[in-house]
């Protein structure tokens, strides 16, 4: 009888506070030992991580895997395989679907679907909008990881996907916040002022603007700034835990920093495209770079990098948003015909490891914003996001010296051909993904079984 199911030996363990040489012993999916020299003969399996970094399993707190209803874009099989290939051990899935996850029934329906297909662990957001306030409590009790609210109207012809996910004015937003506050869960918000976006789109279409930069002009910085200000103000009054999704502007970050200074419960995330691309890339990438909120100026990019380094930005998430080619590529002729979003699951970590090698950020801070902080914010720490005895044995093992080229042909996502990073050179790649003690990705090959992934739910209590 072995003391360990698996020992990870000779690696450098990375946490937000330390880098240390140690072996990790695992039993029944749980970390049971951390030592400088565990006996290899005492384990059923061994991973030799010599020369590699062992990170606590990375969490993507913002993904769109689309199923059910729009499986032509992505499925939980293809999406979680892509996530595992990208070094992710857990994803938190947004509620857009057909039907959308905006009732207890639709939440449980989606849970059943994911259970059969996921190769990594997952959390499920519930939607919180003007039409389903009475369903928020039941979704919390069903196991929602948090709630998502869009302050922007649904895209044309996609209203069915968004029922119960959006608000149209601040009174509705405030009502949603007050109800979520009762659960103690996180309220994640897509912060753009819908009335301004609608007005600007109408003006640009009237001027027969169809070029890619028209999309940028329809969503200027002040559209996010005003929305973030409303979210911070109303969220504070309601006493809810706010998480501003996909922050893209220097103005929005300034508001969040001030709210934090005043002691408000508010966190934020940014995404790789807001750090690696800018509005100038719309000229060459066209619809492949059409994302909401849109790409910003180089000044915004620099400000977000600074915020990521100094702790003002809490989370880095992919906002993986896959589509079929026909839903994106029509935008070359008319940008309004292109859906907004890009596939990011398989590219986020290699791109960020490359920036670490270039000195933009250090590996410990990356672990904080892609593992520990998401786990803490969404109430699953130290079960997730931690290398401690008793934590889930989730690890992302990376080779910081390995070089590669981003190539859609080697990807698992259905939207792989739409990556805006095709041909980019990277240095630093995930080589193994371990979920609850089981290797699900080895050197880019998915070896995890469908249905192995399990739901992750927060520990929360009704607010007093």
Residue 47 belongs to a domain with what CATH number?
Answer: 2.30.40.10
Kind and range of the H or E element at 88?
Answer: strand 88-93
**Listed residues 377, 411, 431: the one ending a domain:** 377
**Listed residues 347, 377, 407: the one ending a domain:** 377
CB 277 within 8 A of CB 264: no
- Structurally, the chain folds into a number of domains equal to 2
Are residues 308 and 428 located together in one domain of the fold? Answer: no
User: What is the pTM for the complete model shown?
Assistant: 0.97
How far apart CA 165 and CA 170 sit, in angstroms, is 14
Are residues 45 and 181 located together in one domain of the fold? Answer: no
**Is residue 462 included in any domain, yes or no?**
no
Are residues 336 and 393 located together in one domain of the fold? Answer: no
Are residues 438 and 344 located together in one domain of the fold? Answer: no
Domain that holds residue 399: 4-54+387-446
Are residues 330 and 442 located together in one domain of the fold? Answer: no
**Is residue 460 included in any domain, yes or no?**
no
Are residues 41 and 136 located together in one domain of the fold? Answer: no
Are residues 14 and 103 located together in one domain of the fold? Answer: no
**Paired tokens of 451:** 């249905």
How far apart CA 182 and CA 32 sit, in angstroms, is 36
Question: Cis (ω within 30 of 0) for the bond into 293?
Answer: yes
Are residues 358 and 416 located together in one domain of the fold? Answer: no
**Is residue 355 included in any domain, yes or no?**
yes
Residue 107 belongs to a domain with what CATH number?
Answer: 3.20.20.140
Are residues 265 and 119 located together in one domain of the fold? Answer: yes
Are residues 39 and 89 located together in one domain of the fold? Answer: no
**Is residue 454 included in any domain, yes or no?**
no
**Listed residues 377, 401, 423: the one ending a domain:** 377
CB 420 within 8 A of CB 343: no
**Is residue 336 included in any domain, yes or no?**
yes
**Is residue 458 included in any domain, yes or no?**
no
Q: Is 147 helix (H, G, I), strand (E, B) or coil?
A: strand
Are residues 289 and 402 located together in one domain of the fold? Answer: no
**Is residue 451 included in any domain, yes or no?**
no
**Is residue 463 included in any domain, yes or no?**
no
- Spell out the per-residue pLDDT of the chain, length 464, in tens: 789 999 999 999 999 999 999 999 999 999 999 999 899 999 999 999 999 999 999 999 999 999 999 999 999 999 999 999 999 999 999 999 999 999 999 999 999 999 999 999 999 999 999 999 999 999 999 999 999 999 999 999 999 999 999 999 999 999 999 999 999 999 999 999 999 999 999 999 999 999 999 999 999 999 999 999 999 999 999 999 999 999 999 999 999 999 999 999 999 999 999 999 999 999 999 999 999 999 999 999 999 999 999 999 999 999 999 999 999 999 999 999 999 999 999 999 999 999 999 999 999 999 999 999 999 999 999 999 999 999 999 999 999 999 999 999 999 999 999 999 999 999 999 999 999 999 999 999 999 999 999 999 997 543 33
Are residues 218 and 236 located together in one domain of the fold? Answer: yes
């Amino acid at each position: 009888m072995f003391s360990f199911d698996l020992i990870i030996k000779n690696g450098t363990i990375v946490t937000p506070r330390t880098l240390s040489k140690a072996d990790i012993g695992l039993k029944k999916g749980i970390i049971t030992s951390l030592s400088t020299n565990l006996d290899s003969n005492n384990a059923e399996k061994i991973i030799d991580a010599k020369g590699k970094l062992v990170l606590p399993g990375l969490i993507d707190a913002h993904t769109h895997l689309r199923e059910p209803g729009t499986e032509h874009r992505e499925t939980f099989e293809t999406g979680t395989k892509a996530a595992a290939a990208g070094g992710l051990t857990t994803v938190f899935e947004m509620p857009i679907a057909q039907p959308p996850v905006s009732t207890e029934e639709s939440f449980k329906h989606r849970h059943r679907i994911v259970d059969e297909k996921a190769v990594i662990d997952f959390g499920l957001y519930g939607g919180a909008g003007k039409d389903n306030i009475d369903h928020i409590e039941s979704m919390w009790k069903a196991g929602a990881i948090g709630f998502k609210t869009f302050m922007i109207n649904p895209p044309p012809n996609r209203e069915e996907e968004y029922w119960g996910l959006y608000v149209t004015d601040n009174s509705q937003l405030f009502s949603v916040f007050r109800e979520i506050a009762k659960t103690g869960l996180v309220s994640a918000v897509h912060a753009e002022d819908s009335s301004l976006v609608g007005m600007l789109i109408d003006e640009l279409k009237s001027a027969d603007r169809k070029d890619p930069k028209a999309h940028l002009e329809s969503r200027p910085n002040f559209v996010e700034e005003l929305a973030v200000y409303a979210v911070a103000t109303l969220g504070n009054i309601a006493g809810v835990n706010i998480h501003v999704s996909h922050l893209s502007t220097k103005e929005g970050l300034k508001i969040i920093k001030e709210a934090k200074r005043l002691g408000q419960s508010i966190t934020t995330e940014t995404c790789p495209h807001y750090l690696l691309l800018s509005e100038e890339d719309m000229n060459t990438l066209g619809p492949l770079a059409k994302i909401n909120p849109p790409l910003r100026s180089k000044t915004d990019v620099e400000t977000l990098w600074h915020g990521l380094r100094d702790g003002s930005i809490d989370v880095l998430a992919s906002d993986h948003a896959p589509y079929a080619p026909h839903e994106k590529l029509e935008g070359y002729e008319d940008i309004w015909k292109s859906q907004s979003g890009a596939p990011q699951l398989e590219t986020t970590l290699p791109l960020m490891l490359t920036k670490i090698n270039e000195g933009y950020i250090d590996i410990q801070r990356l672990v904080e914003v892609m593992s520990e902080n998401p786990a803490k914010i969404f109430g699953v720490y130290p079960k997730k996001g931690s290398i401690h005895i008793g934590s889930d044995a989730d690890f992302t093992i990376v080779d910081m010296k390995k070089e590669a080229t981003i190539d859609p042909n080697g990807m698992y996502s259905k939207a792989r051909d739409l990556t805006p990073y095709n041909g980019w050179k990277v240095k630093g790649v995930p080589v193994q993904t371990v979920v609850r003690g089981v290797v699900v990705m080895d050197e880019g090959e998915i070896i995890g079984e469908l249905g192995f992934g399990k739901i992750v739910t927060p520990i929360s209590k009704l607010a007093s």
